[in-house]
Amino acid sequence: MKTAKVISVTLFIVLFGIAIYFISAHFGRTVIEEILGYFSPCAYPITYRIGSVDSRFGISEKEFENTIEKAVLIWEEAAHKNLFELQNNGALAINLVYDYRQEATERLENIGVIINNSQEGYADLEKKYESVITEYGWRKTELDQLVSNYNERKKSYELDVTRWNSRDTRLTNKNEQGTLRQEFERLNNEKSRLLADADIIEKKQKELNELVNNINALVDAMNNLARELNLSVSTYNKIGETRGQEFQEGVYKSNVTGKEIDIYEFDSPTRLLRVLTHEFGHALGLPHVDNPKAIMYELNQAMNEKLAPEDLIALKNRCGIHE
């Protein structure tokens, strides 16, 4: 009976090893780490690698790697164990993805807007917003009038061209031919003016679009700051709603194709460190917590680089740390 039990255990270990080998060969390190992490959270380090680093962020790959190491240490020093490991073929890819979020942050800097995390800073943003929204109003009115006039003239021109094309010029005398020539020149001149006006409208439309992007960037900044400061103020709406409702700075993703942390936006080294630390927390399996000052709070609105008590509790619960 005892021998049979030993054989059964040995057979299970062998079959489990074979299964791990084939899964690793066919699906890679990600699935293996998922399996090990499921049965023994924090028992084995999560391997990671530097993925794509968009140069438009103005940060070198080495600087990015150093910040990642700092984020890793925040969790490892609290857990007193090796939780992550940098490897060339690491399962977790860390990427800097440049899109509208970072563009908005840089856009505010380009128009001279420096975000000060205080009520005075919020008031300054409101003043800037009122200024650009007023400019938007008169620019849009001007553009709408130009477009309206252009459309009327274009419609009239197209009717004249249709009448011109329907004429039978073969039966005209010399006087009529002279008149037709003058009409032809007039239509050509009008066509040239319409093309020139279309270029002006396109230029003004681009200027208005740029202003709209600045306004939407301001709206994001004001709404985020209002949440951070817990201000009892109305939420501002963006023009066109073209940029999404949430200003998500980073995201951790895990599926059959692999695991990755994508960072979309930061306006300072501290913000970058915090969002990386937050997403590494998700990679460990940590949930969001309720403390606005915590690393694992759903919004990156504080400036501290240390774990809050709620972060530590979540880490200890996940990793089975008992002190």
Total length of the chain? 323
Type and span of the H or E element at 48: strand 46-53
Read off the tokens for 27: 């699906």
- Report pLDDT digits (tens) over 104-154: 677 777 777 777 767 888 888 888 889 988 999 999 899 899 989 988 988
The residue written with tokens 């309206």 in the block is 148
pLDDT for the residue numbered 190 = 87
pLDDT for the residue numbered 13 = 60
Tell me the CA distances in angstroms from 313 to 37, 287, 292, one per residue in order: 19, 11, 15
CB 123 within 8 A of CB 116: no
Whole-angstrom distance, CA of residue 279 vs CA of residue 33: 17
Contacts (Cβ under 8 Å, ≥6 apart) of 101: 247, 248, 249, 264, 265
* Cα angle value 116/117/119 (rounded, 5°): 95
pLDDT for the residue numbered 169 = 56
pTM flag (> 0.85): no
Residue 32, classified by CB atoms within 10 Å of its CB into exposed (0-12), middle (13-18) or buried (19+), is middle
Whole-angstrom distance, CA of residue 138 vs CA of residue 72: 51
The ranges of the chain with pLDDT < 70 are: 1-40, 100-101, 104, 117, 168-177, 238, 240-248, 256, 301-302, 323
Class level of CATH domain 19-98+248-319 = alpha beta
